[in-house]
Structure 1
């Protein structure tokens, strides 16, 4: 029994000694800037600045390469609603590589209560308010906003179809009126309403609208209303 206790004491002593040596060596190296984070490389960020990402990680001028938890740092970065996913890797002695996947703003959804939600393709609300240059979807009914997302199946389908269309930047507005149907406004032709009825717009309809818009511009056609699916619609084939 005495030998067993002695063995435990000896093992504990040497374990503590080794830990102390390793910690002491690490401490000295960090004080000499040998194992300090000095190079942070960030990939995938278009909207969130590198400084914002570094600040979220809490990196300082003397942060040791092993002083931070990778999962905690990733969670801090993901608190920014523009960030969808994060991957962090460290490469001693001084390099940290951060790969982020951002949520791309796709549209602003405005409901009947004039609540404006900046959303991505999945209906996730990045922020409240408007963003210049992207389509605005106007609804004539209220939508439910739950857990940072728009809880409306129709809106989510509409966003998916909008994301699939390569000419999204040409669309200024999509007006959804439950009793009438959907009206679309194209940039540069703000006085023209493209009506598609109660169809959910897909690539076929979007491309048809784009083709009609090109003809209106080219031939300087004076019109205020186009029923896209009618055979007499301008440019309809």
Structure 2
């Protein structure tokens, strides 16, 4: 009998302990959800260049008097991922009163231009956004090339081989660290490419298998001209094994 009584007391103690623990958890949760200490007074947004901070705060309905535990982080991330400029996003609470939003935007590879249309594309040639040329990013290369933009906002190049050449060309000039020197590329002709630098230098290239080799030569020539503070003129790389510079 005595053992049964002891066992019963132990079981009762466990129940009381569990109930007390649950009650403490409920009190803590209630306090966290309703205390002004945890109101979202600080919003930290990092990684955004093209997506405006005010837009982010508005679309996520972030308010100074809203408790950080009342935000659904997964839903907020899904909302931001619908933005055409955003590649990935991570949102987390930073105690006691901060919402931190870390954004990785899509890499804008070029501005396509055809007639009066301008649009950003990524490094796979996919459409990102139509833009007004007056509001363009001056660090992005403009490319004149024949394409159409359909109702689904998909880019259809008139010549798919030219699309491959364009992406390959952009990759090459980035590898040679001369992307920031180039202002405009003209690929309206199938067999030839014209490029224009920010120093008013015109560059002539063949649109063929020698492209990478010629971009490598071009890199050395541009840096040599820069060291000599030379601006303007024309670099002709269309002659096999030779590079001509005309001032």
TM-score by length of 2: 0.69
Match of 1:97 in 2: 100
Hey, what does 1:134 align to over in structure 2? 140
Query: 1:158, 1:200 within 8 Å by CA — same for their partners in 2?
Result: no
Deviation at 1:86, TM superposition (A): 0.7
Paired position in structure 2 for 1:86: 89
Structure 1 position 159 matched with structure 2 position 167: yes
Shift of residue 108, structure 1, vs aligned partner:
0.8
Q: Specify whether residues 225 and 208 from structure 1 end up closer, same or farther in structure 2 by C-alpha distance, changes over 3 A only.
A: closer
2 CA distance for matches of 1:216 and 1:225? 11
Whether 2:214 is the aligned partner of 1:205: answer yes
Unaligned residue ranges in structure 2 (runs of 5+):
1-21
1:113-143 deviations in Å (ceiling 9; x for gaps): 432112222223332133223211111x333
Match of 2:237 among 222, 227, 237: 227
TM-score, normalization by structure 1: 0.71
Deviates more, 1:96-105 or 1:43-52: 43-52
Give the superposition deviation at 1:198.
2.1
Q: Identify, as 1 or 2, the structure richer in helix.
A: 2
Contact kept? 2:144, 2:185, Cα under 8 Å: yes
Alignment correspondent of 2:196: 185
CA-to-aligned-CA distance 1:19-53 (integer Å, 9 cap, x gap): 9x94x865655544033223333332233343332
Say whether the 8 Å CA contact 1:121–1:156 is kept in structure 2: no
Instruction: Summarize the Cα distance change of 1:127–1:147 in structure 2 as closer, same or farther, 3 Å threshold.
Output: same
Alignment of 1:1-237 (within 5 A): 22=26, 26=29, 29-111=32-114, 113-129=115-131, 130=133, 131=136, 132-139=138-145, 141-145=146-150, 147-152=152-157, 153=160, 154-155=162-163, 158-159=166-167, 161-163=169-171, 164-165=174-175, 166-190=177-201, 192=202, 194-199=203-208, 203-215=212-224, 218=228, 224=234, 226-234=236-244
Q: Structure 1 unaligned runs (5+)?
A: 1-17
Question: SS where residue 66 of structure 1 aligns?
Answer: helix
Query: CA-to-partner distance for each residue in 1:162-188, whole Å, 9 max, x for gaps?
Result: 144321111122111344422222221
